[in-house]
Amino acid sequence: MAANPQPRVKRPHGDAVNLSHGSGGKAMRDLIEGLILPALGASSTTPLEDQARIDVPEIVGNGGRIAFTTDSYVVDPLSFPGGDIGTLAINGTVNDLAVGGARPTVLSCSLILEEGLPFAILEKMMCSMARAAQAAGVRIVTGDTKVVPRGSADKLFINTAGIGIIPKDVNLEIARIRPGDQLLLNGHLGDHGAAILKARGDLALDADVQSDCQPLHRIIAALLAAAPGTRCIRDVTRGGLATVLNEFAQGAGVGMRIVEDSIPVRPAVRGICEVLGLDPLYLANEGKLLAVVPAEEAGAALEALRACPEGTNAEIIGEVLPNPPGRVVLSSHFGGERIVDMLVGEQLPRIC
Amino acid sequence: MRYVDEFRDPKKASILVEDIHRLVQHVPQARNRPLQLMEFCGGHTHTIFKYGIEQMLPESVELVHGPGCPVCVLPMGRVDDCVAIAECPGVIFTTFGDAMRVPGSRKSLLQAKATGADVRMVYSPLDALAIARDNPDREVVFFGLGFETTMPATALTILAAERQRVANFSVFCNHITTLPTIKAILDSSDMELDGFLGPGHVSMVIGTHPYHFIAGHYHKPVVIAGFEPLDILQSLWMLLKQLAERRCVVENQYARIVPEAGNIQALDAIQQVFEIREYFEWRGLGSIDHSGVRIRDCFAGYDAERRFAVPNLSIADPKACQCGEVLKGVIKPWECKVFGRACTPETPLGSLMVSSEGACAAYFNYGKISAEIPAATEEVF
C-alpha cells in the first residue's frame, strides 16, 4: 500500500465485525484506519506498507544479537481480573524476549476476528494493547487483520511477534546451569491461572485474585546488573513452575530441589486449589520468572528482584543438585518428599 | 488456611511418625513380613503421595492402594457407551473433569470432543441440569459416576429435574457401591491385608455401622480416615494400635465429618432414585455382584441407558495390564509389566494410570524417588 498523504479516519459502519472487514477492500481499510490504528495510538497517516523497516545500526558491529519470538493469544474470556487479551499479547511476547536477556524493541500484531465481534470489544482490547506497549516501552510497527466466519474462531485471537536486542555479553542458556546454583522466583504463584478460573464464572468462586500479567524486562535488567553470572531465566507461563523446573532439569541433566515452604502462594489461590483439587505448581502465570543464579550471587540477585515492583515478594525457592538427573523433587511443608513431574494434558479437577 | 493448616502441622506429624515407628514393633504380624494396610479411597492415595507419607513410615508398614477411585475402576465398555451417547446428534454430554481422559476401546471422551462431540466438563450434576434448562432443544446427559460420595448429588439432581419438569435431561448411571467391593477383596484367595483405612467421604453418607462385618466376620481392623496428611498418619497409628493390642473394631478418626449413622437425607435420596444392580463390571476386578446401582423404573425418563441405544459391550482389559493385582495389593504398581513403558499418564493403558487418584499415576507422578522403572515390557494386547 502506498502512503496516504491525507488523514482519512473513518469509523467502520455497524456495531460488529463482519466478513467484509476481512475482504482486503474498503471495509477492511475503514476498520484498520478508523478503529485499530487510532486505538493502538498510531496515526492514520502512518504508511501502511507490507513490512516495517527498522534501523539497527547499534547492533551491527558491537557484538550484540537480535532476539526474535512469536506467540499467539487465544484466552477465554477476553477480559479477566487484572488484564485482558490485549495486555497478555504485549506482555507475553515482551517477556519471551526479556527472559533471553533481550531488550524488547518492536512488535507485530496480527488479529484474527470472528464475524460478529462487537467493535466496542475490539476497540477496548486494542486500547489495552496500546497502553501495555507504552508501559513496556515497545512499539507495534506492523500487523495484519483477518476475519473468519462465525464459529471458526472464538471472538478474537491475537498473534504478536517481537524483536529485541541482546547486549554483547549476555548469554542465558539452560546448558549453563550447574549443581549448587540457586532457584529464584519473583513472587506469588498461580495468580493468573486462578484469575482465569474465576473469570470463567462457572465455579461461583468469590476469591480476591488478580492476574499477575506484567512485563518483566525491567526486573530482568536489574537482575542481570546485580548478578551478571545468572545462568538462565524463564517466564513461568502455561504448565506452571513445575514445567519450567522440569525443562531446566532435563535440559541441563541436573536435579532440582524446591522447598514448599519457600514458594509464595496467596491464600486465595491456595483456597481455589484446595477446592478444585488443583496444584499451584502447575497453574499458569503471566508475570513470573524463574532465574537460576550461582550461589555466590544469589543474595545480590534476591535483593535486586525485591527492589523492583515486579518482584517485591521474590524468594529463593530451591537449588540445583547433581542428582537425580532430570528430576525435580519437592520437600513438603509436612516433612515428606515427592517428585514434581511435568504436567500431562491439562489439570482436570478430581471427582471427589 | 483455617481448618486446613492445622491438619498439616509438621511438628505434630513428626511426633505421630515417631509413635508409629515405636508402635509397629509391638504388632505381632509385622515380625515375619511387612504389614499390609489398604486405603480404599483414591483421595487417601492422592494425599499419601502428595505429602510423601509412605517415606515417613517404617519399612515394616506397606500401604496398599485400593480400588477407591471411581475413574480408575470404570470398565472400557462403559467408556465406549459414553462416547456412543456423546456422539448422538443433538446431545450435550456432561462429565466430571477427570473422567474425560479415561481410555475407551476406540477413544476417550476428550478425543470424542476433539472430533466434534459436544462434551462439557461440569463440577456438579446440577450444572448439567442448568445446561439442560438453557438448551431445551438439545438432549443433555450427565455421566453419573462415583461411590456413595457422589451418588446423593446425582439422586437429588434427578429429583430436581422431575420437580422442575426438565424433560431433556438424563443420567448415564455408573455409580458403584463400596461394601460389596471390599467384601470381594476380602474374599479373594491372594488377599494378605492386615487392616483398612475406611473411606471418609463415603462414610459421611453411609456412616460407620456398615463396616462392622469387616471387623466382626473377617477380623480386620478398620479406621475411618480423613483426607489431610495428619488424618492419615493418625489413622495409621490407630490401626497399628488395634493390631498391637490384638483388637479388631471399627473406629472413627474422621468424627468431625462422619456421623456414626451417616447422612439420613442423602441416604433417603439414594433410596428413592436408585436400586441395586445384580452385578456390575469393574475394571481390573471383573464382575462384582450387587456392586452397582441403576435408576429405578419410576425415574426411567431420566435414565440415559433407556433413552439411548448404548452398545453395552464388555471389553476385555489389555492382557498385559495388571490393574487387578495392583488393586488387591498383590503387586506394587511398578511391578506391573507395562508400568512406565507402554502405560504412562500420557498414554494410559490401565485405568489406574488415568486419574491422579489412581495408584499407578500417583507412583508415576509423585513416585518413590528411588524406584526404577522396569526395563522389561511385554506384549500389550
Q: Is the pLDDT of residue A61 over 70?
A: no
- Which grid coordinates belong to B117? 462431540
Is pLDDT above 70 for B327?
yes
Q: Which of B369, B370, B373 to mutate to test the interface with A (most CBs of A within 10 A)?
A: B369
Average pLDDT (B289-314) is 94
Q: In whole angstroms, what is the distance from residue B168 CA to residue B138 CA?
A: 7
Cα separation, A192 vs A213, in Å, equals 7
Nearest to A350 among B49, B51, B356 (CB): B356
pTM of the model: 0.82
For B77-106, the pLDDT digits (tens) are 999 999 999 999 999 999 988 788 888 888
Most A CBs within 10 Å, among B356, B360, B368, B370, to test the A interface? B356
Count of residues in chain A? 352
CB contact under 8 A, B346 and A345: yes
Q: What is the pLDDT of residue A239?
A: 87
Q: Quote the percentage of chain B above a pLDDT of 70.
A: 94
* Nearest-by-Cβ selection for A274 from B1, B229, B357: B1
Answer yes or no: is pLDDT of B378 > 60: no
Buried b (16+ CB within 10 A) or exposed e, A184-213: bbbbbbbbbbbbbbbbeeeeebebebbbbb
Q: How high is the pLDDT of residue B346?
A: 76
Pairing of strands B222-225, B250-252: parallel
CB contact under 8 A, A334 and B99: no
Question: Which chain B residue has the Cα nearest residue A334?
Answer: B10
Q: Using CA coordinates, name the residue in chain A closest to B1.
A: A267
By CB atoms closer than 10 A (0-12, 13-18, 19+), residue B143 is buried
Mean pLDDT to the nearest integer, A119-123: 96
Is the per-residue pLDDT at B375 higher than 50? no
Cell of A122: 475490539
Beta carbons of A352 and B8 less than 8 Å apart: no
pLDDT confidence of residue B265: 93
Query: Are A349 and B98 inside 8 Å of each other by CB?
Result: yes
CA A339, A341, A344, A346 torsion: positive or negative?
Answer: positive
Note the pLDDT of residue A346.
63
Chain B's closest residue to A276, CA to CA, is: B123
Residue B119 CA to residue B113 CA, distance in Å, equals: 5
Q: Which residue has the cell 476498520?
A: A31
Range among A291-295, B59-63, B320-324 rated most confident: A291-295
pLDDT in tens, A20-41: 888 777 888 889 888 998 898 8
Please give the span between the terminal C-alpha atoms of chain B, in angstroms, as a whole number: 48
E strand segments, B161-317: 169-175, 195-199, 222-225, 250-252, 274-276, 279-282, 286-289, 293-295
Arithmetic mean of pLDDT over chain A: 89
| Higher-scoring residue by pLDDT: B189, B183 | B183
Contact check, Cβ <8 Å, B97/A350? yes
**Contact criterion met (CB below 8 Å) for A200 and A76:** yes
% of chain B beyond a pLDDT of 90: 57
Closest CA to B66 of B234, B185, B202, B176: B185
Compute the average pLDDT of residues A246-265.
Answer: 95
- DSSP string of B303-370, one letter each residue: BHHHHS-------PPPTT--HHHHHTTSS-GGGSTTBTTTB-SSS-SSGGGTSTTSHHHHHHHH--TT
State the DSSP H helix or E strand holding residue B85, giving kind and residue range, or none if neither: helix B76-86
Q: Which positions in chain A touch B96 (Cβ < 8 Å)?
A: 349-351
Q: Which amino acid is at B300?
A: A
Return the minimum-mean-pLDDT range out of A20-29, A175-184, A293-302: A20-29
CA distance B324 to B244: 30
**Domain spans of chain B?**
1-317, 322-366
| Beta-bridge partner residues of A66 | A165
Predicted pLDDT at B31: 83
Q: Are A210 and A272 in contact (CB under 8 A)?
A: no
Instruction: Indicate the pLDDT class of residue A47, thresholds 50, 70 and 90.
Output: low
pLDDT digits (tens, 9 = 90+) for B204-254: 999 999 999 999 999 999 999 999 999 999 999 999 999 999 999 999 999
Map out the domains of chain A as residue ranges: 16-166, 174-340
Chains A, B: CB contacts within 8 A come to 96
Superfamily of domain B1-317: HypD, alpha/beta domain 2 (3.40.50.11740)
Where is pLDDT greater, at B249 or B11?
Answer: B249
A336 contacts B52? CB cut-off 8 A: yes
Place of cell 553470572: A229
CATH topology assigned to domain A174-340: Phosphoribosyl-aminoimidazole Synthetase; Chain A, domain 2 (3.90.650)
Per-residue model confidence (pLDDT) at position B2: 60
Residue A207: list chain B partners with CB under 8 A.
none
Chain A nearest-CA residue for B372: A324
Q: Homologous superfamily of A16-166 in CATH?
A: PurM-like, N-terminal domain (3.30.1330.10)
Which chain A residue shows the shortest CA-CA distance from B54? A336
ipTM: 0.73
All residues of chain B having their beta carbon less than 8 Å from the beta carbon of residue A274 are: 1, 4
- Is the pLDDT assigned to residue A238 strictly greater than 90? no
When comparing pLDDT for A168 and B126, which is higher? B126
